[in-house]
Amino acid sequence: MKIREMQDEIQRLKKEKDVCILVHAYQSHDLWEIADYIGDSFGLAQQAVNAPQKNIIMCGVRFMAETVKLLSPDKTVILPKSGAGCPMAEQFCVADIEKLKAENPGYSVVAYINTTASLKTVCDVCVTSASAVKIVRAMDAEKIIFIPDCNLGGWVSKQVPEKTIKVLQGGCPRHAAVTAEDVEKAKRTHPNALLLVHPECKPDVVGKADYVGSTTGIMSYAKESEAKEFIIGTENSIVQHLQLEVPDKQFYELSKDLICNDMKLTTLGDVYQCLAGKAGEQIVLPDEVMKKAKTCIDEMLRLG
């Protein structure tokens, strides 16, 4: 089947089977074209809550599908590829965090949304990359342990110097692989381009940026800016998406290695197979995990 034929068939099947398709921004363009919603992980989970459909296919990685389930417990949530995980979300386990809490009495634990649902059960509040600074500032706690991304945690710590923030040595292996040399090379090649980076990048990369923000923030900034050229310091699919959406501007990769292989596991064919009932994993979480992890997200919504 050709791509266009498969996309048409997916559009037909999703209506017939009452399915809403969520597509994370790091997915390929052929998936964007069949999406009901495209965006960051938490934004997608919120869209699912209001979607009229009873069934959700989440084209992303496992923690994202879990977050959708936490917010929409009565909907059937399918992850097209069981093996699509996130190395950062799975870096720590519940026992690691419980030990850390015992060693650091009086500290509150802040979890980046990029964590497993079970890890969220032992944390006090979630944050997204867009809301992290605001939420950490709004918390009553003065002493905070930030998991799992040390780069995002360090960036938040700089914006909120009045609080004591401990970070762990975790993070996104894709964003953390970008170096200051990559920045220098990209700026030499594209001297008129603004550098837009995700706070999951290392501090010496973030320190050279013209704008630091979430993937959605980077895309909005590039579209609204009067500048014409941009070096994009997040997953490389964003370069392609921006180039297609804004053809009169120029977008460049910061590093050719900024590719999330886990995100790229999900293909159009997988979504088609899910709709045909031949692939995909239904996300099922224990009641206790549903309840406790949701508390962590509710606290984010209360503070944010």
86 touches ligand SF4 by CB under 6 A: yes
Q: Count how many residues are written for the chain.
A: 304
202 touches ligand SF4 by CB under 6 A: no
262 touches ligand SF4 by CB under 6 A: yes
Amino acid at 263: M
| Rounded distance between C-alpha atoms, residue 198 and residue 40, angstroms | 12
Instruction: Say if CB 219 and CB 242 are below 8 A apart.
Output: yes
Among 172, 268, 283, 285, binds ligand SF4 (CB under 6 A): 172
Q: Which of 160, 296, 270, 156 is nearest to 213 (CA)?
A: 156
Compute how many residues bind ligand SF4; rule: CB under 6 A. 11
Q: How far is the CB of 11 from ligand SF4 (least distance, A)?
A: 26
**Site stretch for ligand SF4 (CB under 6 A), options 50-58, 209-217, 256-264, 295-303:** 256-264
235 touches ligand SF4 by CB under 6 A: yes
176 touches ligand SF4 by CB under 6 A: no
Binding mask 92-131 for ligand SF4 (x = CB under 6 A): ----------------------x-----------------
182 vs 235, which CB is nearer to ligand SF4?
A: 235
61 vs 275, which CB is nearer to ligand SF4?
A: 61
Tokens, residue 294: 């949701």
Among 87, 154, 203, 269, binds ligand SF4 (CB under 6 A): 87
297 touches ligand SF4 by CB under 6 A: no
Q: How far is the CB of 235 from ligand SF4 (least distance, A)?
A: 5
**Site stretch for ligand SF4 (CB under 6 A), options 86-94, 159-167, 188-196, 289-297:** 86-94
Q: Given the rule CB under 6 A, which residues bind ligand SF4? A: 61, 86-88, 114, 172, 174, 235, 260, 262-263
